[in-house]
Structure 1
């Protein structure tokens, strides 16, 4: 590997114009340097081997081979074949393999299932108790305005057959008409009275077809019900307990943690089905009655369709109960058992990257991961641009809040190698640098332990040793101390619940909840890409936290700024704490929505009062409300959320890392331990990085600062904290260690609108329209919405075929090329009609003169009614999947066409998707952001 050099020069300057104080750090642990030079086994990559070979000589050869390649150990279990945990021969092979691996100095994790998903012990749990299979409510429904209804019933036991009147888009529960007697031969037929009606058939049945149990790539067998405690008790009895009996009651002597793999409720369809699904179990009704104080069955219709405030409360209480049961009965039981055997419970869930899927699969994802002592993620791609680093930060945050430092990732090149039958795509061989870049993004996101399914194809042993040493050195430092972040992002669980509707395929019918998930994902991805480290907090953490001065604190953790991405529902105690933070000088930033609901009131007068206190009398424009303490609230309405990064640049007077010169492709995380602070800085690019950075390190700490290079094991003195010259190779990293770092300093807020944002329209142009084969296209001027200098147009697409990929784009052509180099945002004024039920989102394409198309998602849902002004950062446009560009970079002075529309939408025949938009504008702040665009 090419040796990395860091060019250190320049004067020693203060990292920020703030006062710093504090006691001297504890001395560095004497063994840390030696562990960095030669990383111990537990910090290196652990190869997932599952079963040990039967023959001793084959076991010995495997251990010897892995040692020669630099691996730290393995993830293993009793072999799947030949009877699994019921085979004494397989137990004998496992026990010998583990003992020999331990002698060789291996670190190990204990895998808890025969394949995956965990919980079934390869079918043993269900073998004698088939009634423990996952169950769900299956819902067939339709709307009618007087026409005859013929609705097939889902399979299973009938729970409900009824019709409800609909007024102004809301279903009236009190107007229920029972239709049980209209069900004949598996179908419901009904001629409704005048008006609009919602007809619903609900049954209860086992879940398998269309679920993860039938679609995973290991084994297609029925799966267990995680809501029932006796199911997990049986799973523990036939798996974990046998390991303790056969090997050692103190399993912590042998393994770093257990590894559970993708358990879920199965109440999410991965292929299209003719009905919706909700999770269910025999104990759910009684548990709901006991925990929520009301009967569940009368509320079922409100879980499916909008009934106003009644729906919001019913959904909140239902998903809370489901989340509690999964967390307690599955993850909690395993955690309790593991703690009795001195072993951290670990592993990863399903759908870590998609908040909407998490609701259907777990109820409360964060509540579940809180019951993991070694929270973990699954990373199936090894192409760095595709790596969702935010999932590591989510799991790591749950660990940080409970002082748990071990965060694992099961990482592989699965997406580059796996090809199902009929898939003709060639296998993509990933490089050593790409693997390093994949691991870097995760380490910057909080991961500090790696287990591996990598093929490592075409990598020599020397390359594997380099990778293992690199990972080991990074993890040796990153497993120290705790995260130190200025920002916290609230996980919008409750705001998803109150909007969530069950779906026939994935979460496609949960249209109202989609903007909540999209806002969260856009926020955390933006922060990561803008060198802003953050912690993800759930409602429990917000309730437990306390406002102390300008910080919200939770144990040793503290944050100056809390960001609410489309969050309007939290426990009242959480809202009270956020208001106290704003009063004390901290800052609360609301994106898209304002405080509205508590855990008991939908809406809550007290919550709305707190919202007015924090954010003032808000409008549809970005606004600031200052408190006497110098902090306060900032509101960015829907469409303006893209202003967040520039707002944070103005708010944080000294960020933890600032790029003074160079591309914005550095990623950073900051940790604090008794012996000092560590900054992990990674080059997230296939190109070398060269430039200058500022670090938030006081001048008094520079003399004790060092740069630790994981690629070589070299340690150098830190020469400066401001204007620090830095050079990093392709997908390489450096760890900066210092005795202490400066605290955050916030600029005082001033009440009013955001200052300095200037808009100007693009040159006049007359749009044309294009669309897919199955879209009837219409485009006309919208005189009612246009104004002088900003004409508007109305675009309408009517789908002529169901469930096919459709698109429609308007095209503004510019024969004389546009030059947008001095702009930061493309700004669109948009309108959508009332009661348009679509999950399509408004997209923008910038077309270069050379033919390349660059695409950006505006974040604007076309299913949300009314006017929205959206700001699209120009540095968020990415090369479209269908397009090619030799330089792989958007040239902002070479734009010949601006396209506005939607695509990738699978709708229904005759469905109409309509929007209006005005002539696009561009906007920017007076002073440009520091650092180059990517």
Structure 2
């Protein structure tokens, strides 16, 4: 996210001249006692508006700073003026004066590193005289043939490979490829394929721009640098960062909290559909690949696009691992090293943080790139609390804790509520003070310590802005530093994603179903923890591999310890990580695998040692809980049963902070300066009153971020709490009590009770360009629903529709469940969905976390908490009422497939499922 998006509406700041202003309540110094800092939060803990255009006139500069102070802001993120970037001495003079005046006033500053975004271009200066530094890719056009004439247009660029692969038993036979280079004339392939099934591929190498983030962003749309190469990063640092040190000296930390890099990426993801897919490329990539992996890159290029199985997965793992190494070192690493040498951390955020499947084509290994940020950061483009990507906050703060970095940042805004594309006539939505507070609460709860801001703050008075700044400042002051305390760690599935990924022509929509499944289960696991009120952190394979193990816990260093680890569809990790997970279980810890079992290591696909660990912990997929005499518990939940994780959480560990059932509360716990600090938020617009219990002991205090008051809290086990909508409360105690490990019996996970609904015969609901058929395979189901698309590249859908004449009360259940079967050979790039409609006409939608290209039969559980009001819903405002359900639809939608494509599935009647 960057300044062009909000350039002429940043803050609604008025530069009209006004008298010298001060903060209504001057911030405490960062070194003051905590009580003073809580009463009057330091500047760096308050919101920091992003100001890209500084006025040249001193009186306007002073007016800008006066306005920020009057509204309670702590400072700003800024840069030398975008106009005549890095060249205008007048702009440099304005920047230096503003920095000096801001520091004299006690303001906090972040240093933005680019003119617009994505970072690295220096406003186009980086590649001047060096067009060879532009991002590059391998462009892949492909088709299928059953024999006979084949015609295929080549992508632009230099031809790298033209080949046809015979298909044996559904897989390309790479060993018997036919070289088709001689059949490519004037940019097109013409070939007569022998009888049989063939996969045909043309690969070219070319610069990347059209259809990429660089071309569709709201900034300059300039050609972008290649992050795989070190040379453009070195030049970028010379042009930007060293221009600042030339004028401010080598100690930039004396002026700025951190630098701010904005959405750099490989550009190897098409955001506008192209006729070909793409892999990242650079001149140094083949040599780096061979040095890292011990074999040459060129022969395995086809495996990065076609096929499946262990050999293919190992090739993809090695390729994307090399890409991750190069990006993390040659961009993020160079910048981090430079920043540390100039006494400040490197901050900033990456692109498309929420959908983890995009992490692979954009970075290779997203987690590894975050490791090379001294102030890991994110962006949040929405200020509707229900839409906030809180899981990204937890991801970046987990990296910060593992590395011991005290500062995290979110570039926060109401961009999604304000920006409208041409032709989008929706009115601008003005977010309220309460919605802003609720959005920031979720990010603070999940580890964000600093907010830079593109908020318009439209319609908010100075009094409201001061309240927001006091609130944010107090919360960030109380929760900065120390380490997060939680029993639960979730593994970020980098290695598995890399091994399963293949590129697409349009975003990641054509990625293999096995790769999409990883993303779905990862998201489902995080949502299950969140809705269960369980705090957690994220770890990657490298952190697991380097951990210590003892006493039923993993020691991740820097004071970070975890007793339970969840593997969301993870089948590939470094062998040392698998061994540590086995050691955790043997010493009394908890390991839960969801949707996949240990199969591969970094060296072996498959890995016999990983398979042995799978057998020891999970019985090779037999299901149920496996225990040992040290109290260890291991559980495998197969695909479709990921939603049952909530039952497993309660079965193995008591919560650190306990709430009443269905309370809209969430909590986090940090150990800071020898104290146990807890933050409890109400994630609802409605007030809430009740009691909560914190697993702590000793003298306690209640710290109110609304007032700054600190009062005694005598009993952590019984805390009476009243919270306004989207508010919260902080607590501090002398000691924490380790939540109780429950005794878990070996065998099936108990307490699951299914209830049948009255039998009805479903109908079919279909889109305009769908020919549909439904077949009952037995009386009372299941039913096979088949669709043939009559037109390509249009929105299509098909649902089995179960309708009841009277209300069905499902409110006492936790899940809907049904049996489903997906046939072999289906390429459908969409997932199974469930829609519920109540008697009032309100409709809600939930994903079943099952790609319809993933063959097999299974039972699927969909939590009621996963359902969100559908955008097309009628009826009164608010959520669906599960006590008066009239319709349940099972199917798929929003799919832009090919003409004549067949999409089929079989489903049983839905069941209500409760947990005893």
TM-score by length of 2: 0.95
Per-residue deviation at 1:240?
A: 0.4
Match in the other structure for 2:259: 258
Match in the other structure for 1:479: 480
Q: How well do the aligned residues superpose, as a CA RMSD in angstroms?
A: 1.3
Match in the other structure for 1:635: 636
Match in the other structure for 2:730: 735
Kept after mapping to 1: 8 A contact 2:113/2:261: yes
Match in the other structure for 1:25: none
What aligned pairs does 1:104-123 form with structure 2 within 5 A after superposition?
A: 104-123=105-124
Match in the other structure for 1:282: 283
Q: Deviations over 1:265-322 (max 9, x none)?
A: 0000000000000000010011111111111011000000114222111100000000
3-state DSSP of counterpart to 2:317 = helix
Match in the other structure for 2:681: 682
Match in the other structure for 1:673: 672
Per-residue deviation at 1:841?
A: 1.1
Instruction: Give the one of 567, 571, 580 matched to 1:564.
Output: 567
Kept after mapping to 1: 8 A contact 2:597/2:620: no
Kept after mapping to 1: 8 A contact 2:47/2:452: yes
3-state DSSP of counterpart to 2:403 = coil
Per-residue deviation at 1:354?
A: 1.1
Matched, 1:711 2:706: yes
3-state DSSP of counterpart to 1:75 = strand
Per-residue deviation at 1:415?
A: 0.7
The higher relative CO (CA closer than 8 Å, separation ≥ 6) is in 1
What aligned pairs does 1:884-895 form with structure 2 within 5 A after superposition?
A: 884-886=874-876, 888-895=878-885
Kept after mapping to 2: 8 A contact 1:172/1:307: no
- CA distance in structure 1 between the partners assigned to 2:439 and 2:404 by the alignment: 26
Match in the other structure for 1:616: 619
More moved, 519-528 vs 637-646 = 519-528
- CA distance in structure 1 between the partners assigned to 2:32 and 2:43 by the alignment: 18
Match in the other structure for 1:722: 717
Kept after mapping to 2: 8 A contact 1:833/1:866: yes
Per-residue deviation at 1:548?
A: 1.1
Instruction: Give the one of 852, 856, 871 matched to 2:861.
Output: 871
Match in the other structure for 2:432: 431
Match in the other structure for 1:897: 887
Instruction: Give the one of 862, 881, 887 matched to 2:852.
Output: 862
Kept after mapping to 1: 8 A contact 2:837/2:880: no
Q: Deviations over 1:17-67 (max 9, x none)?
A: xxxxxxxxxxx9970000000001011111100232101111111111111
Per-residue deviation at 1:617?
A: 4.1
Instruction: Give the one of 756, 759, 780 matched to 2:754.
Output: 759
Per-residue deviation at 1:664?
A: 2.9
What aligned pairs does 1:371-382 form with structure 2 within 5 A after superposition?
A: 371-382=372-383
Kept after mapping to 2: 8 A contact 1:374/1:404: yes
Match in the other structure for 2:77: 75
3-state DSSP of counterpart to 1:323 = helix
Match in the other structure for 1:579: 582
Q: Deviations over 1:620-673 (max 9, x none)?
A: xx4111122111310000000101112201211x31111136x43112111002
Kept after mapping to 2: 8 A contact 1:615/1:632: no
Q: Deviations over 1:443-484 (max 9, x none)?
A: 111111100111111000111111111100001011031111
Per-residue deviation at 1:887?
A: 5.5
Match in the other structure for 2:593: 590
More moved, 305-314 vs 60-69 = 305-314
Matched, 1:658 2:653: no
Q: Deviations over 1:233-257 (max 9, x none)?
A: 0000000011011112100000000
- CA distance in structure 2 between the partners assigned to 1:824 and 1:420 by the alignment: 39
What aligned pairs does 1:120-269 form with structure 2 within 5 A after superposition?
A: 120-269=121-270
Kept after mapping to 2: 8 A contact 1:511/1:838: no
Q: Deviations over 1:557-578 (max 9, x none)?
A: 1111100000000010000000
Match in the other structure for 1:14: none
Kept after mapping to 2: 8 A contact 1:560/1:744: no
Kept after mapping to 2: 8 A contact 1:530/1:664: no
What aligned pairs does 1:54-93 form with structure 2 within 5 A after superposition?
A: 54-81=56-83, 83-93=84-94
Match in the other structure for 2:839: 849
- CA distance in structure 2 between the partners assigned to 1:628 and 1:145 by the alignment: 59
Matched, 1:517 2:530: no
Match in the other structure for 1:908: 898
Kept after mapping to 2: 8 A contact 1:820/1:892: yes
- CA distance in structure 1 between the partners assigned to 2:148 and 2:495 by the alignment: 37
Q: Deviations over 1:134-183 (max 9, x none)?
A: 00000001111224211100000111000011123221110110000111
Kept after mapping to 1: 8 A contact 2:109/2:257: yes
Match in the other structure for 2:871: 881
Kept after mapping to 2: 8 A contact 1:51/1:94: no
Matched, 1:836 2:826: yes
3-state DSSP of counterpart to 2:460 = coil
- CA distance in structure 1 between the partners assigned to 2:385 and 2:425 by the alignment: 23
3-state DSSP of counterpart to 1:410 = strand
Q: Deviations over 1:837-894 (max 9, x none)?
A: 1122111112211111122111121111010100111232221111134251332221
Kept after mapping to 1: 8 A contact 2:832/2:852: yes
Match in the other structure for 1:491: 492
- CA distance in structure 2 between the partners assigned to 1:577 and 1:922 by the alignment: 39
Q: How many pairs does the alignment contain? A: 885
What aligned pairs does 1:275-354 form with structure 2 within 5 A after superposition?
A: 275-354=276-355
More moved, 190-199 vs 107-116 = 190-199
Match in the other structure for 1:21: none
Per-residue deviation at 1:131?
A: 1.1
Matched, 1:440 2:430: no
Per-residue deviation at 1:680?
A: 0.7
More moved, 870-879 vs 560-569 = 870-879
Per-residue deviation at 1:822?
A: 2.9
3-state DSSP of counterpart to 1:237 = helix
Gaps of 5+ in 1: 1-27, 927-934
3-state DSSP of counterpart to 1:740 = strand
Q: Deviations over 1:806-835 (max 9, x none)?
A: 111111111122122332221110001001
More moved, 430-439 vs 847-856 = 847-856
- CA distance in structure 1 between the partners assigned to 2:818 and 2:560 by the alignment: 39
Kept after mapping to 1: 8 A contact 2:250/2:342: yes
More moved, 144-153 vs 492-501 = 144-153
Match in the other structure for 1:37: 39
Matched, 1:414 2:415: yes
- CA distance in structure 2 between the partners assigned to 1:30 and 1:270 by the alignment: 48
Instruction: Give the one of 533, 545, 557 matched to 1:543.
Output: 545
